[in-house]
Chains A and B, each alone.
Chain A
């Protein structure tokens, strides 16, 4: 068995990890690094609860071998908070209660972050399309879609007053 050392950036921190062949990023994050915001749902790439951003693009950490993220920048939900302060998207999800059990929330927020980075003022269809790979069995999606709209509004106000 050939164990490998892989170097990549996790939430702005450059790290080296040692992994068995084909270890998924999901299991590395949760089991070894204890970054448990990234959830384990289906392990099939179907539910979206394990979504992380790889160089700013959403990907499914349950399908992603750690060896394949060598040299890349990974962002997980833990990386959104700054000095303990919630990111505006997190704050909006929290204030507008865009969750019930919360299991899908990290994935929802990561995809929303990528969406708003790409399209600062998305319309409803663009939000729905972006979130279509993230399953929520509690909310019926409506509160989540509204939270993304509200997040966009807040982020744009913050950007225009800077």
Chain B
């Protein structure tokens, strides 16, 4: 065992202070559901680990039209909130009961795909991440957070402090399609957030996960739908466009071909849920 120290800072300032002091850095964990399996297997052998569970970041509060979610809020806590039902549904789609009791909202941003469905739901809601370092904090829209497979804009002194979610004015829906009913990695997960003027779509957000290196928005499909209404043909065409926007991968869950094929199908089912 090479782990020399497990730091458990009692506040975010203590956490960022520790990170700023450390030349070689620490592996940051919260619920442990992503990092501990790697440590148990010896795949990851960090010298120092910094745990955020005691840093006071498990909160959900309503503030000026936003739902503000502390980074170490568990997915079980999210499943229990009623302010944004789509987030409760997305949280329930992750892992098993025991996993949801441990796994955190912030940690979900570091889940390799097809993990990260909850982050996709937050993406559809135009959420912002508050990143904090010793020098202060900055706000980053989720659209700008991911830079590639398992890479992001965080620098080594920063941690995710909280997520600010605008409370949606329109209609939202979430679908997760996996190989089993629950506790299953996604073939594809889709979160949508739409606003209408009568029948006409005025705002469209379509966030996908499991079909790219990180959760992303199908912006061309969104754009296509603006000014249209949700009907069979427009939904089908949007699905075909979304399928061209993804870059799926093959893994033991599903092939690249199957993942892409399921995008229009699952998008159709998701949009059917909000069809007036």
Binding site for B on A (CB under 8 A): 1-2, 4, 20-22, 24, 43-46, 48, 51, 54, 57-60, 62-65, 67-68, 111, 114, 129-130, 132-134
Beyond the given pairs A60-B99, A133-B96, 13 more chain A to chain B contacts, judged by CB atoms under 8 angstroms and listed by A's residue number, are A1-B5, A2-B4, A21-B6, A22-B3, A44-B41, A45-B33, A59-B98, A59-B102, A63-B33, A64-B32, A68-B32, A111-B98, A134-B96
Choice from A1, A45, A129, A130 contacting B37 with Cβ under 8 Å: A45
Does B40 contact A24, Cβ atoms closer than 8 Å? Answer: yes
Tally of contacts, chain A with chain B, CB under 8 A: 90
Give 18 pairs: A residue, B residue, CB < 8 Å, sorted on A: A2-B4, A44-B37, A44-B40, A44-B41, A45-B33, A48-B98, A51-B98, A54-B101, A62-B40, A63-B33, A63-B37, A63-B40, A67-B6, A68-B32, A68-B51, A129-B182, A130-B97, A133-B95
Does B97 contact A63, Cβ atoms closer than 8 Å? Answer: no
CA distance A63 to B34 in the complex (A): 9
The smallest beta-carbon distance between B253 and chain A, in angstroms, is: 14
B10-60 contacts to A, CB under 8 A, are: 31-33, 36-37, 39-41, 49, 51, 53-54
Closest B residue to A118 using CB positions: B97
CA distance A4 to B96 in the complex (A): 31
CA distance A20 to B49 in the complex (A): 12
CA distance A114 to B6 in the complex (A): 30
The smallest beta-carbon distance between A149 and chain B, in angstroms, is: 18
Q: Is B76 an interface residue (CB 8 A)?
A: yes
Does A21 contact B5, Cβ atoms closer than 8 Å? Answer: yes
CA distance A46 to B34 in the complex (A): 11
Closest A residue to B47 using CB positions: A21
Q: Is B183 an interface residue (CB 8 A)?
A: yes
A111-B97, A129-B182, A132-B182 given as contacts; is B36 within 8 A of A45 (CB)? Answer: yes
Interface string of B71-104 (1 = CB under 8 A from A): 0000010000000000000000001111101100
**Size category, B interface:** 20 to 34
The smallest beta-carbon distance between B30 and chain A, in angstroms, is: 10
The smallest beta-carbon distance between A11 and chain B, in angstroms, is: 19
Q: Which A-B residue pairs are the 5 nearest by beta carbons?
A: A133-B96, A21-B6, A63-B36, A43-B40, A44-B37
CA distance A1 to B4 in the complex (A): 5
A63-B36, A65-B32 given as contacts; is B41 within 8 A of A43 (CB)? Answer: yes
